Amino acid sequence: MAKFLNTSATNYYLEELIKTASERLILISPFLKLNDRIRELLEDKNRLKIDIRIVYGKSELQPEEIDWLKQLSFVRTSFCKNLHAKCYINEETCIITSLNLYEFSQVNNNEMGVLINRLDDPDLYKESFEESQRIIRISDEVRISLERVHPSEQSSGGESQPLSTSKLAKNNKLKTGELIERFVDLGYLSISGDGHILTELGKEAGGELKISKRFGEYFVWPSDLRVAD
């Protein structure tokens, strides 16, 4: 019988689901920004050569996230347009929840979910697994070994090119999250659910929303944008 999960229980059983996976692991989440604990668990599953599929849909993959994923040979990552489902499955259990694989959500939000066991609810587990497979089929697999925010910062004419949020943060010796918080304080971005939206003030500062088939939505900014306090 399915088990109700509150916020803390969802986080606990998600870790257990990853930890106990012995054959396959499917993680479906619109927003993707993994905390250190989830990264450690996935690295361990990768060492054990467990087949891992991660499907995301709305959050920009930061360069540091890409570099980390490139090191995991048994992790395949896909981008699914208009994804809103959050579903995590191994060969025995499934969690359907409001919780994104996004560290902000895991710490700050109030979440709910249900835990499904394959032996107790075989039909429900089967339907959940089949739907996750459908989502994987319609998603575009990201070739992490080749894809990254393009390093070219200069056009042929020598003009400075806009930088992604993560690149601008790195150039200013900040973490991406720190720069995003600073942009929220400055009024360039506003919080919307688990993500952010560009404000009119942000547009005036030169910010732009970009949409990539592979990496989803992300922001770019003038390379000379002042970010200091």
Instruction: Note the pLDDT of residue 29.
Output: 93
Range name among 94-108, 141-155, 200-214 with the lowest pLDDT average: 141-155
SS (H, E, C) 137-181: HHCEEECCCCCCCCCCCECCCCCECCEEHHHHHHHCCCCHHHHHH
Judge whether residue 116 has pLDDT over 90. yes
Instruction: Note the pLDDT of residue 84.
Output: 93
* Cα–Cα distance for residue pair 190/171, rounded to 1 Å: 23
pTM flag (> 0.75)? no
* 14 vs 213, more confident: 14
Q: Residues 123-146, buried b or exposed e (16+ Cβ, 10 A)? A: ebbeebbeebeebbeebeebebee
Averaged over 154-158, what is the pLDDT?
43
Structural domains in the chain, sorted by start: 3-142 (3.30.870.10), 163-221 (no CATH)
* 14 vs 157, more confident: 14
177-216 confidence digits (pLDDT tens) = 888 888 988 889 998 876 788 998 889 888 998 876 555 6
